[in-house]
Each structure stands twice: as structure tokens, then as C-alpha cells.
Structure 1
């Protein structure tokens, strides 16, 4: 990477870390700290934990499209401002109802797609994967830090302090985006952002719908866990300031489990390991449901849960990228993200309703039962090889020339799919490890 790309990668990764740190810090503390509010109820806790997911799901695709029209930075700055306002509303809330309003406003700052698109705009194609990898690592890193730090801040400053820190972190992102991240003209691309005309086709895709529903269930389960687990830990006479003693070793052990599973995969994504990840998570919920009062069983169950979660969270996006047609990855990922955030909302709702009507143990068992349906859905996913995506510039040919060029490109070793983008004079190729770039360029050059 050159200096400009490295600056962009580190700045955008910092924006993601600061923003996601604020979101993640709330998850392990809200269910316990919210008990001090006069209108506390398990249902309202579920809405508060998952509420941001509803607006995230609704606005993820529209805001990505808006960044094509208005520019990346204006949309990102708008999203950060709305997120900060929501954080301060929640910080000053004296009732659960107002906290939920703040959480919904936080979700309205749906800028994930615009950030990824900006990272694409300011990086060369040959270095793009490295830039996006740095951002991806930063997101995972922020989760581990937040789960440990969140309870410590809540113990010292209360839940309002967690939200206030969240708002301040969002404000710190604004100068980073405005003055540190390089400027660039938006490059409208079906590989980067959602395209309206592709939505219907990809929502109904025989393979992609399974991954979309899978990520919905995945995030439904982690939200359900974080509504219940902090309360479970208080049953062991652990104050919020002591919860890190559970989370730190659990997350460390789950990372070891993830490394073992990734090693067994050998660079592929075998269906057997996807099913194993779901079994791990379902078994964890079942163990918590039958005996959440046993410390060692609870610890083992949470390690099992995060091992499965980490593996699936890392591999589902790669599968979406591999299955999505050439030139339509942006739309596929936008739909995927919307299902992901709606899953968070659904997890909060289900957990709150079940706990309100029945009991926390019943909520755990609902999580376990949902994995049975999930296993059926995953079993229908076809194993695919990891693929790369290549964009090449081509003068806009007419329909006849496009057909001829497509036929010729499909004869090039390693080319799996070909899609033209007439707006940007580009051709998108989905290729495997046998791709011969020199032959592909030789085919395109005469056009």
C-alpha cells in the first residue's frame, strides 16, 4: 500500500473502532444497569438492546445509495452526527422509553456501506483487499475491547456514562473523516454498494436467502445472549465491574477455538464446519437453559457459543461474496447487512417478550430451539470455492459486442462469471485461483 492508502485504511479503521466500540460497550451492561429505571421491564430491555438494529436494517441500503448521489463523506458525517445525538439522548434518559428512542436514533446512523465504499474509492484495486482487511480486523478488535471495558465504565459512571462515552467517540470520528481520510470521487459500482435494480433478484436467490436468514439468526442469538447473560452473571454475585473476569478468559478461549476451526477448514468453508458452528451455539443455549446456576457449565457454554459465533461471523460474508454474481456483490452485501441488523432487533424483542411472559431459562431454550431450524437452512447451502473479483476497464460496447466479449472472456482460464457495467465502462469478472489476467486483458484490449 502507498502512503495515501495506508492513511485511509488506518483512519477508516479508527472510525469503525470508535463507533463500534460505543455500540458494543452497551450490550454486556444494559440488561443489568437498566434495572434502576422506574419503567424497567424485560421487554423494554430487549427493545433497548436490539432497537438500534431496526433502523440500521431499514436505512443500511438507502444510505449506501445516497452516498453515491451526495458523496461518501457527507453521508458518513451525517450518520455520525445522528449516532452521536442518539447516544446523548440515551445518556440523558430517565426512563427506558427515552433510552429506546436514543437507541433507535443510534441505529439511524447507518454508515457501514458508505465507509466500505469510501475505502474502495481511495484504494487501488490491487491493494483494496488489504485496506478492507485492516477495517475488518478493527471491527473484531473493537468487539473484544468493548465487552471487557463496557462493564468497567458502567460500574464507575453508570449506564448514562456508557452512552455519553459512546457519543463522544462518535464526535471524535468526525474530524478523522473530514480531514484525515483522503478525498475521492464516488465510484458507483455494483461490487461496492447496493444497486436498486438488483434487489429483487438477489433477495430471492436460492443460495443467498439461506445466508441472509442465517446471519439474521446468528445476530438474533448473540443479542438474545447479551440480554440474558449479564443477569445470569449477577446470580453468581458478580457486580458489573467483575464481569470482565468472565468475558476475558471466555473470549480468549473462543479465539483458540476459532483458530482450530479455521485450521481445519484449510482455506475453504466446508458445510460441516458451518453446521458445527451452529451446533456449538445451540448446545450453549441448551446448557444455559437447563442449568444457568452452575458457574462452570455457564462458562463452558459461553466459550462454546463464542467459538461458533466467531467462526460463522467470519465466514458468512466470505460465502456471500463468493456466491453473489459478478458486479452484484454490493447489493448482496447490503441485503445481508440489513438481515444482520434486523436479527439484532428480533433477538432483543424475542428475549424481552419470552422473559416477560415466562422466564430467562425459557429464553435460552428458545435460542436453542431456533438452531434446529437454522441447521436445516444451513444444510441447503452449497459448498463453493473462494473466488476473487476483478474489474477491468472496457470501452462501452454495444449489445452484440458485449455478447461476443462475454463468450471470449468465459474461455479464459479461471473466469467464472462476466458482468458489464455500462455506466462506468467496466466489466466485472468473478474468477478462481486459475485466473489468467494476461489472457483476459488480451481479450479486452481489441474492443
Structure 2
């Protein structure tokens, strides 16, 4: 490896640790809001006289807007500084969340979800985490990122069941908005009291002004074949995850007639297992490498999905076990895919982290956006068709990871 791309390992100072904590807290609170909404949204849709398709559309429009704004917002953070752009993006997101609380029909809810989705600040949080850690520790950083995201989702599942059951499903948006607002205030306070040297700020503009918001940088990233392949493989995971989470909640509450509180406990089991294996994946990434961890996760998910093609899958216990296997596979796949992308970007140009991550997340959010829509359409035909699709997509991802991602150097790809 070129040593010029490998700065010496630094111990995180007090202010950087506080910043890291605030960013991870913001990630966690955002995920809490996600899962709170996931639990209560099906009955909110039904109350507004919606259907499975309108449910998929309400879920999908949010991620469509996230995909549209993810790249320009992240690239703007490279050019104008993380601090300024993230506050603007969180403000838009919070406004849209509170507007969703006031929706009186499906059309209004779709419009307000679009506003909420346009506050696409996820990539900035991810870029700040990558700013904090040196290249050799990006696996650890992405492990923390995935862990905080999933712990937040874990907590939101618990809250979502109680909020929907006792406070009314409309309050899934009001409470989610309050949590996002709190995280924004905390970030503002931390930004005003700390100035770590390795975080991109306005003082970095002289060296990075030409590194963002132009076609040349996108072409520079896409000229590396491994970047395009890794983005596509990650987009398959985004599509599966975005579709299956939304569809699973609908299947539990509408098909199996499980109430919000009981379905929250069901999802709690799945997410608990998911979080455990995200932790395992994060700890193994820096030694085994992202490619190997992706293959392990994909293989487990493929093995677990085989029962979908047999009659025993109609037994709810079997369905639950299969779902758990797939969640384990996706958990190992999750931080490994993010680390693979980040390491490839670092080999191309370290100053393009925000742009590269934003481009990856924009494509990922779009894939995640169409997931619920596609799943809801084919789910109208047969309840298990979406799960057949999951099996074959993971199989495709496994083949591509095994044969198209460099086995000799893992994610450390030469750009020569």
C-alpha cells in the first residue's frame, strides 16, 4: 500500500470523542424515529383508507427523496463544511416529520414524507465518522456507525409498539420529530465547543473546494471498476433491507393479525440478533476484511432462505427461524459493505469521502425506496413472492462478491 495514503494512527482526543458520541447519538435517534414509524405506519395508512400499495408508496417516497438529495447534500458538506450543511439538512428533516403528524389523507402524507426525505443528512454523519478514524481503523468506525444505527432501531421498536398502542399511531411522527430535534441541538452545542483537526470544516475549503459538486469527481470514482461493482452489491442489500422491513411489518400486522405491541416484540427479537452480529462483523472486519465478511453473511442468508421454496414455510415458527437466519446474514453483510466502499474511495482519493459515500448512499436510498414499492406490488400476488426475490438477489450478490471483488487485496484496490 502507498504509505502516503496511510497516516499514522492517532489516539482520539477528548473533543473528538465527544463529537463522535454526538454523531453516534444523532444516528441512533434517527434510527429510533425510523422504527417508531415502521411499527405504527401500517395502521396509520389503513386509518387514512390506504392499501398495501399506498403503504409501499408512502414508505418509498421518503427514500426516493433521500436518494435524490443524498449526494448533493453530502458533496456540499465536502465543499462548504460538515457543520453548516448538516444543521440545514436536519432542520428540513425535522420539519417534514412534524408535518407528517398533521396529515389528514394519503396525499398529504406522501407530500410530507417527501419533505422529510429531502433532509438527507445520513451521509454527512457517516462522513464525519470516517473523518474521525484513520484509514486502518475505518472498519471500527463503520462498525460503530452500523451499531449505533441498529441500537437506535432496536430501541425504537420497543417505543413504537407502546406509542402506537397507548398514544395513538399518529404520535409516531411527533415523538420521532422531538428526538431528531434533540439530536440536532446536541450536535450544534458540540460543534460550537469543539474543533478537531481531522474533521472537515470551512477551514478545509482551500484544499477541498475543487473536490466536490462536479462531474469530474464522479467520473474519477466511477473509473475504478471496483467502486461501481461494490456500489451495485451494496444497492442490492439496500433494496432487500428497505423492502423486507416494510413488508414484514405489514405481513405481521395485516396478514397474521398481530397487534402493534406484539409485532414490536417480534421485531425486537430479529433486531436484537441483527445488532449482535453487526457487532461481530465490526470486530472481524479489520482482520478478515470486508470481502470475506460479505461472503460469509451472504452465504448464511442464502442457506436460511432455502425453506421459502417448501411448504413448511407456512408454519409461523419456521417462518420466524428463516427470518432470523436472513437477519444474521444481512447483519454481517451490513458494515462490511460500507467498509468496502470507504476503503475503495480512500484508494482513489481520500478527499472524496463525502462525495463517494454520498453517491453510494444516493444509489442505495433509491434502491431502498423502490424496495417497499416492488415488494408491495408482488406481495399482492402472493405473500411469499417477495421472499423468493430476496433469495435470488442475495445469490446474485454472493456470486458478484466472490468473482468480481478482488480476492488478493480485498478492498485495497489499486487505481493505477
TM-score where L is the length of structure 1: 0.76
Match of residue 330 from structure 2: 309
14 and 111 in structure 1: CA distance in 2 versus 1, 3 angstrom threshold: same
**How many Å apart are 1:178 and its aligned residue?**
2.1
Match of residue 170 from structure 1: 180
267 and 74 in structure 1: CA distance in 2 versus 1, 3 angstrom threshold: same
- Write 1 or 2 for the structure with the bigger share of helix: 2
Deviation sequence 1:149-187 (CA, Å, 0-9, x none): 323322223332111111111221232122233354432
- Is it true that 1:212 corresponds to 2:231 in the alignment? yes
What does 1:279-290 correspond to in 2, within 5 Å? Answer: 279-282=299-302, 284=304, 287-288=307-308
What does 1:227-238 correspond to in 2, within 5 Å? Answer: 227-234=246-253, 235-238=255-258
Instruction: Tell me the distance in 2 between the aligned counterparts of 1:12 and 1:143.
Output: 16
The total of aligned residue pairs comes to 388
- Is it true that 1:31 corresponds to 2:42 in the alignment? yes
Which of 56, 69, 75 is equivalent to 1:46? 56
**How many Å apart are 1:345 and its aligned residue?**
0.5
Q: Secondary structure at the match of 1:360?
A: coil
**How many Å apart are 1:309 and its aligned residue?**
0.8
Instruction: Tell me the distance in 2 between the aligned counterparts of 1:47 and 1:96.
Output: 10
- Is it true that 1:143 corresponds to 2:153 in the alignment? yes
What does 1:156-195 correspond to in 2, within 5 Å? Answer: 156-181=166-191, 182=193, 184=195, 185-186=201-202, 187-188=204-205
What does 1:33-432 correspond to in 2, within 5 Å? Answer: 33-38=44-49, 40-118=50-128, 134-181=144-191, 182=193, 184=195, 185-186=201-202, 187-188=204-205, 196=214, 197-234=216-253, 235-255=255-275, 267-269=287-289, 271=291, 273-282=293-302, 284=304, 287-288=307-308, 293-324=314-345, 325-328=347-350, 329-330=352-353, 331-356=355-380, 358-379=381-402, 380-383=404-407, 385=409
Please say if residues 286 and 365 of structure 1, whose CA atoms lie closer than 8 Å, have aligned partners that are also in contact: no
**How many Å apart are 1:139 and its aligned residue?**
2.1
Report which stretch shifted further, 8-17 or 276-285. Answer: 276-285
Which of 12, 24, 31 is equivalent to 2:23? 12
Q: Secondary structure at the match of 2:103?
A: coil
- Write 1 or 2 for the structure with the bigger share of strand: 1
Deviation sequence 1:359-406 (CA, Å, 0-9, x none): 322222222233343333223222254789xxxxxxxxxxxxxxxxxx
**How many Å apart are 1:18 and its aligned residue?**
1.7
Match of residue 7 from structure 2: none
**How many Å apart are 1:337 and its aligned residue?**
1.3
Please say if residues 51 and 100 of structure 1, whose CA atoms lie closer than 8 Å, have aligned partners that are also in contact: yes
TM-score where L is the length of structure 2: 0.81
Identify unmatched segments of 5+ residues in structure 1. 389-415, 420-447
Instruction: Tell me the distance in 1 between the aligned counterparts of 2:217 and 2:316.
Output: 49
Instruction: Tell me the distance in 2 between the aligned counterparts of 1:218 and 1:95.
Output: 32
Please say if residues 289 and 362 of structure 1, whose CA atoms lie closer than 8 Å, have aligned partners that are also in contact: no
**How many Å apart are 1:217 and its aligned residue?**
1.2
117 and 277 in structure 1: CA distance in 2 versus 1, 3 angstrom threshold: closer
Report which stretch shifted further, 297-306 or 110-119. Answer: 110-119
Please say if residues 17 and 138 of structure 1, whose CA atoms lie closer than 8 Å, have aligned partners that are also in contact: yes
Report which stretch shifted further, 276-285 or 231-240. Answer: 276-285
Higher relative contact order structure (alpha carbons within 8 Å, sequence separation ≥ 6): 2
Identify unmatched segments of 5+ residues in structure 2. 1-11, 196-200
Match of residue 424 from structure 1: none
Higher-Rg member (1/2): 1
Which of 11, 14, 27 is equivalent to 1:3? 14
**How many Å apart are 1:207 and its aligned residue?**
1.4
**How many Å apart are 1:134 and its aligned residue?**
4.8
What value does the CA root-mean-square deviation take over the aligned residues?
A: 3.4
